[in-house]
Amino acid sequence: MTKLLKTVAIFTLIGTSVLFAKPNIIILATGGTIAGSGTSSTKSAYSAGAVTVDKLLAAVPSINDMANIKGEQISNIGSQEMNNEVWLKLAKRANELLKRDDVDGVVITHGTDTMESTAYFLDLTVKSKKPIVFVGAMRSGSSMSADGPMNIYNAVSVAINKESYEKGVVVVMNDEIHSAREVTKVNTSSVNAFASPNTGKIGTVYYGDVHYYMSSVKKHTYQSEFDIEKINFLPRVEIIYGHANGNDIFVKAAVAADAKGIIYAGMGNGNPYPTTQDALAQAVREGVVVARTSRVGSGRTNLHGEVDDEKLGFIVTDDLNAQKARILLMLGLTRINSKQQLQEMFFNY
Ligand SMILES: NC(=O)C[C@H](N)C(=O)O
Protein backbone atom coordinates (compact mmCIF):
# COMPACT_ATOMS: atom_id res chain seq x y z
CA MET A 1 0.00 0.00 0.00
CA THR A 2 2.75 2.44 0.97
CA LYS A 3 4.53 1.48 -2.24
CA LEU A 4 1.38 2.22 -4.27
CA LEU A 5 0.92 5.56 -2.54
CA LYS A 6 4.56 6.45 -3.23
CA THR A 7 4.17 5.57 -6.93
CA VAL A 8 0.97 7.63 -7.19
CA ALA A 9 2.71 10.56 -5.48
CA ILE A 10 5.70 10.36 -7.84
CA PHE A 11 3.49 10.24 -10.96
CA THR A 12 1.36 13.15 -9.68
CA LEU A 13 4.54 15.15 -9.10
CA ILE A 14 5.90 14.39 -12.58
CA GLY A 15 2.48 15.08 -14.14
CA THR A 16 2.14 18.41 -12.34
CA SER A 17 5.64 19.54 -13.24
CA VAL A 18 5.08 18.60 -16.92
CA LEU A 19 1.71 20.37 -16.88
CA PHE A 20 3.09 23.52 -15.29
CA ALA A 21 6.56 23.47 -16.87
CA LYS A 22 7.36 26.84 -18.36
CA PRO A 23 8.30 26.90 -22.05
CA ASN A 24 11.91 27.59 -22.98
CA ILE A 25 12.40 30.67 -25.09
CA ILE A 26 15.71 31.91 -26.47
CA ILE A 27 16.12 35.61 -27.17
CA LEU A 28 18.58 36.32 -29.98
CA ALA A 29 19.64 39.95 -29.82
CA THR A 30 20.94 41.77 -32.90
CA GLY A 31 20.84 45.44 -31.83
CA GLY A 32 18.57 48.27 -32.95
CA THR A 33 16.78 51.04 -31.10
CA ILE A 34 15.28 48.44 -28.78
CA ALA A 35 18.88 48.08 -27.50
CA GLY A 36 19.51 51.79 -27.90
CA SER A 37 20.46 54.39 -25.35
CA GLY A 38 20.69 58.18 -25.21
CA THR A 39 21.66 60.83 -22.67
CA SER A 40 18.21 62.44 -22.34
CA SER A 41 14.77 60.91 -21.91
CA THR A 42 13.12 63.76 -23.84
CA LYS A 43 15.56 64.25 -26.74
CA SER A 44 15.52 62.20 -29.92
CA ALA A 45 19.30 61.58 -30.19
CA TYR A 46 20.51 58.11 -29.21
CA SER A 47 22.77 55.30 -30.38
CA ALA A 48 21.24 52.02 -31.57
CA GLY A 49 22.76 48.73 -30.40
CA ALA A 50 24.28 50.21 -27.22
CA VAL A 51 22.83 47.81 -24.63
CA THR A 52 23.61 44.09 -24.31
CA VAL A 53 20.98 41.36 -24.27
CA ASP A 54 21.21 40.84 -20.46
CA LYS A 55 20.45 44.50 -19.77
CA LEU A 56 17.71 44.49 -22.36
CA LEU A 57 15.97 41.56 -20.69
CA ALA A 58 16.50 42.94 -17.18
CA ALA A 59 14.15 45.77 -18.17
CA VAL A 60 11.28 43.24 -18.56
CA PRO A 61 11.54 40.91 -15.51
CA SER A 62 7.92 39.75 -15.92
CA ILE A 63 8.84 37.63 -18.96
CA ASN A 64 10.53 35.22 -16.52
CA ASP A 65 7.11 34.41 -15.04
CA MET A 66 5.90 33.12 -18.42
CA ALA A 67 8.96 31.29 -19.72
CA ASN A 68 12.49 30.16 -19.02
CA ILE A 69 14.37 32.86 -20.85
CA LYS A 70 17.93 32.72 -22.15
CA GLY A 71 19.58 35.49 -24.12
CA GLU A 72 22.29 35.32 -26.79
CA GLN A 73 24.02 38.20 -28.52
CA ILE A 74 24.26 37.66 -32.29
CA SER A 75 25.32 41.21 -33.14
CA ASN A 76 24.80 44.68 -31.67
CA ILE A 77 24.26 47.02 -34.57
CA GLY A 78 21.79 49.57 -35.89
CA SER A 79 19.86 47.51 -38.41
CA GLN A 80 20.86 49.93 -41.19
CA GLU A 81 24.20 48.07 -40.90
CA MET A 82 22.58 44.68 -41.52
CA ASN A 83 24.44 42.46 -43.98
CA ASN A 84 24.64 38.94 -45.43
CA GLU A 85 27.08 37.78 -42.76
CA VAL A 86 24.69 38.57 -39.87
CA TRP A 87 21.72 37.16 -41.81
CA LEU A 88 23.48 33.84 -42.30
CA LYS A 89 24.73 33.68 -38.70
CA LEU A 90 21.31 34.52 -37.26
CA ALA A 91 19.34 32.14 -39.50
CA LYS A 92 21.76 29.27 -38.87
CA ARG A 93 21.64 29.81 -35.10
CA ALA A 94 17.83 30.06 -35.00
CA ASN A 95 17.56 26.90 -37.12
CA GLU A 96 19.98 25.01 -34.87
CA LEU A 97 18.21 26.10 -31.66
CA LEU A 98 14.72 25.30 -32.90
CA LYS A 99 15.75 21.72 -33.71
CA ARG A 100 16.34 21.12 -30.00
CA ASP A 101 13.57 19.57 -27.89
CA ASP A 102 14.40 21.91 -25.03
CA VAL A 103 13.73 25.04 -27.13
CA ASP A 104 10.09 26.01 -27.67
CA GLY A 105 10.51 29.23 -29.60
CA VAL A 106 12.84 32.05 -30.53
CA VAL A 107 12.41 35.81 -30.12
CA ILE A 108 14.73 38.04 -32.15
CA THR A 109 15.31 41.62 -31.06
CA HIS A 110 16.17 43.73 -34.10
CA GLY A 111 16.33 47.29 -35.37
CA THR A 112 13.25 48.39 -37.23
CA ASP A 113 14.95 49.80 -40.37
CA THR A 114 15.61 46.38 -41.92
CA MET A 115 13.52 44.15 -39.67
CA GLU A 116 11.16 43.24 -42.52
CA SER A 117 14.08 41.97 -44.64
CA THR A 118 15.71 39.88 -41.91
CA ALA A 119 12.33 38.48 -40.85
CA TYR A 120 11.55 37.47 -44.44
CA PHE A 121 15.03 35.94 -44.85
CA LEU A 122 14.39 33.67 -41.83
CA ASP A 123 10.82 33.01 -43.02
CA LEU A 124 12.32 31.53 -46.19
CA THR A 125 15.26 29.63 -44.72
CA VAL A 126 14.62 28.35 -41.17
CA LYS A 127 13.09 24.87 -41.09
CA SER A 128 10.79 24.87 -38.10
CA LYS A 129 7.12 24.92 -37.15
CA LYS A 130 7.94 26.55 -33.82
CA PRO A 131 7.33 30.27 -33.21
CA ILE A 132 9.93 32.71 -34.54
CA VAL A 133 9.08 36.22 -33.41
CA PHE A 134 10.82 39.48 -34.36
CA VAL A 135 10.49 42.52 -32.14
CA GLY A 136 11.91 46.04 -32.10
CA ALA A 137 11.22 49.49 -30.77
CA MET A 138 10.90 53.02 -32.07
CA ARG A 139 12.02 54.67 -28.82
CA SER A 140 15.29 53.77 -27.15
CA GLY A 141 15.39 52.29 -23.64
CA SER A 142 16.42 55.63 -22.11
CA SER A 143 13.57 57.52 -23.73
CA MET A 144 10.34 58.60 -21.97
CA SER A 145 7.57 56.03 -22.67
CA ALA A 146 9.99 53.59 -24.29
CA ASP A 147 8.00 51.04 -26.31
CA GLY A 148 10.64 48.27 -26.15
CA PRO A 149 9.70 46.61 -22.83
CA MET A 150 6.00 46.15 -23.71
CA ASN A 151 6.95 45.00 -27.21
CA ILE A 152 9.31 42.37 -25.70
CA TYR A 153 6.64 41.28 -23.22
CA ASN A 154 4.18 40.88 -26.10
CA ALA A 155 6.74 39.10 -28.30
CA VAL A 156 7.43 36.48 -25.60
CA SER A 157 3.66 36.06 -25.13
CA VAL A 158 3.35 35.36 -28.86
CA ALA A 159 6.34 32.97 -28.78
CA ILE A 160 4.79 30.81 -26.04
CA ASN A 161 1.35 30.75 -27.64
CA LYS A 162 0.45 27.40 -29.27
CA GLU A 163 -1.40 29.20 -32.07
CA SER A 164 1.89 30.71 -33.19
CA TYR A 165 3.01 27.28 -34.44
CA GLU A 166 3.20 26.91 -38.24
CA LYS A 167 2.55 30.62 -38.75
CA GLY A 168 6.00 31.26 -40.22
CA VAL A 169 8.08 34.15 -38.95
CA VAL A 170 6.06 36.96 -37.38
CA VAL A 171 6.82 40.53 -36.35
CA VAL A 172 5.36 41.94 -33.12
CA MET A 173 5.24 45.72 -32.81
CA ASN A 174 2.81 48.13 -31.16
CA ASP A 175 0.29 45.43 -30.07
CA GLU A 176 0.09 43.95 -33.58
CA ILE A 177 1.25 40.66 -35.08
CA HIS A 178 2.33 40.73 -38.73
CA SER A 179 3.46 38.04 -41.10
CA ALA A 180 7.12 38.47 -42.16
CA ARG A 181 6.19 38.28 -45.85
CA GLU A 182 3.66 41.08 -45.61
CA VAL A 183 5.00 43.51 -43.07
CA THR A 184 6.86 46.70 -43.94
CA LYS A 185 8.01 49.80 -42.13
CA VAL A 186 5.61 52.60 -43.01
CA ASN A 187 6.59 55.40 -40.65
CA THR A 188 10.05 56.78 -39.88
CA SER A 189 9.44 57.78 -36.25
CA SER A 190 6.01 56.82 -34.87
CA VAL A 191 5.60 53.81 -32.53
CA ASN A 192 2.95 52.70 -35.01
CA ALA A 193 5.67 52.18 -37.63
CA PHE A 194 4.63 48.84 -39.18
CA ALA A 195 1.82 47.72 -41.42
CA SER A 196 1.02 44.95 -43.89
CA PRO A 197 -0.37 47.04 -46.77
CA ASN A 198 -1.61 44.17 -48.95
CA THR A 199 -3.20 41.90 -46.35
CA GLY A 200 -3.36 43.64 -42.96
CA LYS A 201 -2.06 42.31 -39.66
CA ILE A 202 -2.62 38.64 -38.82
CA GLY A 203 -3.29 39.15 -35.13
CA THR A 204 -3.15 41.35 -32.07
CA VAL A 205 -1.40 41.07 -28.72
CA TYR A 206 -2.67 43.26 -25.92
CA TYR A 207 -0.72 43.11 -22.62
CA GLY A 208 0.24 39.55 -23.56
CA ASP A 209 -3.25 38.49 -24.68
CA VAL A 210 -2.76 36.93 -28.13
CA HIS A 211 -5.44 36.69 -30.83
CA TYR A 212 -4.93 35.53 -34.41
CA TYR A 213 -7.35 36.30 -37.23
CA MET A 214 -5.61 34.82 -40.28
CA SER A 215 -2.39 33.29 -41.56
CA SER A 216 -0.41 33.41 -44.78
CA VAL A 217 -0.99 30.78 -47.46
CA LYS A 218 2.41 31.47 -49.03
CA LYS A 219 5.24 28.95 -48.56
CA HIS A 220 7.43 29.59 -45.55
CA THR A 221 9.76 28.00 -42.96
CA TYR A 222 9.10 24.24 -42.86
CA GLN A 223 7.50 24.26 -46.35
CA SER A 224 10.27 26.28 -47.99
CA GLU A 225 12.72 24.74 -50.50
CA PHE A 226 15.50 26.93 -49.10
CA ASP A 227 17.50 25.44 -46.27
CA ILE A 228 19.88 27.61 -44.30
CA GLU A 229 22.11 24.62 -43.56
CA LYS A 230 23.01 24.56 -47.25
CA ILE A 231 23.42 28.29 -47.83
CA ASN A 232 26.78 29.96 -47.19
CA PHE A 233 26.81 32.65 -49.85
CA LEU A 234 24.27 35.06 -51.31
CA PRO A 235 24.65 36.41 -54.85
CA ARG A 236 24.65 40.15 -55.57
CA VAL A 237 21.18 41.55 -56.29
CA GLU A 238 20.70 45.32 -56.61
CA ILE A 239 17.54 47.40 -56.26
CA ILE A 240 17.08 50.25 -58.74
CA TYR A 241 14.41 52.84 -57.99
CA GLY A 242 12.41 54.14 -60.96
CA HIS A 243 11.64 57.81 -61.52
CA ALA A 244 10.87 60.36 -64.23
CA ASN A 245 13.79 61.06 -66.61
CA GLY A 246 15.22 57.59 -66.24
CA ASN A 247 18.38 56.25 -64.65
CA ASP A 248 19.94 53.75 -67.00
CA ILE A 249 23.34 54.71 -65.52
CA PHE A 250 22.52 52.68 -62.40
CA VAL A 251 21.44 49.67 -64.42
CA LYS A 252 24.73 49.77 -66.32
CA ALA A 253 26.68 50.17 -63.06
CA ALA A 254 24.93 47.14 -61.55
CA VAL A 255 25.80 45.02 -64.59
CA ALA A 256 29.42 46.25 -64.46
CA ALA A 257 29.56 45.28 -60.76
CA ASP A 258 28.61 41.72 -61.75
CA ALA A 259 25.12 41.79 -60.24
CA LYS A 260 23.34 38.49 -60.84
CA GLY A 261 19.94 40.08 -60.38
CA ILE A 262 18.26 43.50 -60.51
CA ILE A 263 15.03 44.35 -58.74
CA TYR A 264 13.56 47.28 -60.61
CA ALA A 265 11.15 49.24 -58.37
CA GLY A 266 9.27 50.91 -61.17
CA MET A 267 6.63 53.59 -61.35
CA GLY A 268 2.99 52.51 -60.95
CA ASN A 269 2.63 48.89 -62.04
CA GLY A 270 6.44 48.53 -62.17
CA ASN A 271 6.88 50.70 -65.27
CA PRO A 272 10.33 51.90 -66.35
CA TYR A 273 11.33 55.09 -68.23
CA PRO A 274 12.17 54.11 -71.87
CA THR A 275 15.97 54.48 -71.60
CA THR A 276 15.96 52.59 -68.30
CA GLN A 277 13.86 49.86 -69.90
CA ASP A 278 16.40 49.58 -72.75
CA ALA A 279 19.24 49.23 -70.22
CA LEU A 280 17.29 46.59 -68.28
CA ALA A 281 16.65 44.62 -71.47
CA GLN A 282 20.38 44.84 -72.28
CA ALA A 283 21.14 43.55 -68.74
CA VAL A 284 18.91 40.53 -69.45
CA ARG A 285 20.82 39.85 -72.67
CA GLU A 286 24.02 39.88 -70.59
CA GLY A 287 22.63 37.19 -68.27
CA VAL A 288 21.24 39.28 -65.38
CA VAL A 289 17.81 38.34 -63.99
CA VAL A 290 15.60 41.44 -64.02
CA ALA A 291 12.50 41.36 -61.82
CA ARG A 292 10.02 44.22 -61.90
CA THR A 293 8.31 45.43 -58.74
CA SER A 294 6.69 48.75 -57.87
CA ARG A 295 7.75 51.74 -55.84
CA VAL A 296 4.07 52.34 -54.90
CA GLY A 297 4.16 50.22 -51.73
CA SER A 298 1.07 48.09 -52.23
CA GLY A 299 -0.61 46.05 -54.93
CA ARG A 300 0.67 43.49 -57.39
CA THR A 301 3.10 44.13 -60.20
CA ASN A 302 1.43 42.30 -63.07
CA LEU A 303 2.74 40.54 -66.13
CA HIS A 304 1.12 41.66 -69.41
CA GLY A 305 0.52 45.25 -68.34
CA GLU A 306 2.20 48.14 -70.16
CA VAL A 307 5.54 46.30 -70.33
CA ASP A 308 6.12 43.44 -72.76
CA ASP A 309 7.89 41.18 -70.23
CA GLU A 310 7.98 38.24 -72.58
CA LYS A 311 9.80 40.17 -75.30
CA LEU A 312 12.16 41.98 -72.91
CA GLY A 313 12.88 38.94 -70.72
CA PHE A 314 11.71 40.41 -67.41
CA ILE A 315 9.94 38.61 -64.58
CA VAL A 316 7.65 40.17 -61.93
CA THR A 317 7.69 39.92 -58.15
CA ASP A 318 3.94 39.46 -57.50
CA ASP A 319 3.09 41.80 -54.58
CA LEU A 320 6.47 41.70 -52.81
CA ASN A 321 8.06 45.08 -52.21
CA ALA A 322 11.57 45.70 -53.55
CA GLN A 323 13.49 44.82 -50.38
CA LYS A 324 11.61 41.51 -49.96
CA ALA A 325 11.87 40.69 -53.66
CA ARG A 326 15.63 41.19 -53.33
CA ILE A 327 15.81 38.61 -50.52
CA LEU A 328 13.76 36.06 -52.47
CA LEU A 329 15.75 36.56 -55.69
CA MET A 330 19.08 36.23 -53.82
CA LEU A 331 17.89 32.93 -52.40
CA GLY A 332 16.35 31.81 -55.68
CA LEU A 333 19.62 32.41 -57.50
CA THR A 334 21.43 30.05 -55.10
CA ARG A 335 19.61 27.10 -56.64
CA ILE A 336 17.47 28.03 -59.65
CA ASN A 337 18.77 29.18 -63.03
CA SER A 338 15.66 28.95 -65.17
CA LYS A 339 13.81 32.24 -65.57
CA GLN A 340 10.48 30.43 -65.74
CA GLN A 341 11.14 28.69 -62.42
CA LEU A 342 12.21 31.96 -60.82
CA GLN A 343 8.93 33.46 -61.99
CA GLU A 344 7.01 30.55 -60.42
CA MET A 345 8.98 31.03 -57.22
CA PHE A 346 7.73 34.64 -57.01
CA PHE A 347 4.16 33.37 -57.25
CA ASN A 348 4.65 30.66 -54.57
CA TYR A 349 6.53 32.47 -51.76
N1 LIG B 1 13.90 52.04 -34.56
C2 LIG B 1 15.05 51.47 -34.95
O3 LIG B 1 15.31 50.39 -34.55
C4 LIG B 1 15.91 52.23 -35.93
C5 LIG B 1 17.36 51.87 -35.96
N6 LIG B 1 18.04 52.68 -36.92
C7 LIG B 1 17.59 50.43 -36.37
O8 LIG B 1 17.02 49.97 -37.33
O9 LIG B 1 18.41 49.78 -35.78
What pLDDT, in 10s, does the model give residues 130-149? Answer: 999 999 999 999 999 999 99
CB-based contacts of 255, cutoff 8 Å, min separation 6:
282, 283, 286, 288
Q: Is 171 in the pocket of ligand 1 (CB under 6 A)?
A: no
How many Cα atoms occupy the beta-carbon half-sphere of 112 within 13 Å?
27
Task: Quote the pLDDT of residue 20.
Answer: 74
For ligand 1, mutation pick of 44, 108, 110, 112 (most atoms within 8 Å of CB): 112
Global pTM reads 0.94
CA–centroid distance, residue 343 to ligand 1 (Å): 33
Which residues line the annotated binding site for substrate?
A: 79, 112-113
Residue-averaged pLDDT of the chain:
95
Q: Is 216 in the pocket of ligand 1 (CB under 6 A)?
A: no
Task: Quote the pLDDT of residue 188.
Answer: 98
Q: Is 146 in the pocket of ligand 1 (CB under 6 A)?
A: no
Cα separation values, 79 from 48, 148, 227, Å: 8, 15, 24
CA–centroid distance, residue 38 to ligand 1 (Å): 13
| pLDDT (average), residues 213-230 | 97
Nearest CA to ligand 1 atom 6: 78
Q: Is 26 in the pocket of ligand 1 (CB under 6 A)?
A: no
Percent with pLDDT over 70 in the chain = 95
Task: For residue range 54-78, list pLDDT tens digits in order.
Answer: 999 999 999 999 999 999 999 999 9
Alpha-carbon span 160 to 274, nearest angstrom: 52
**Comparison of pLDDT for 202 and 19, the residue scoring more:** 202
Percent with pLDDT over 90 in the chain = 94
Name the β-bridge partners of 346: none
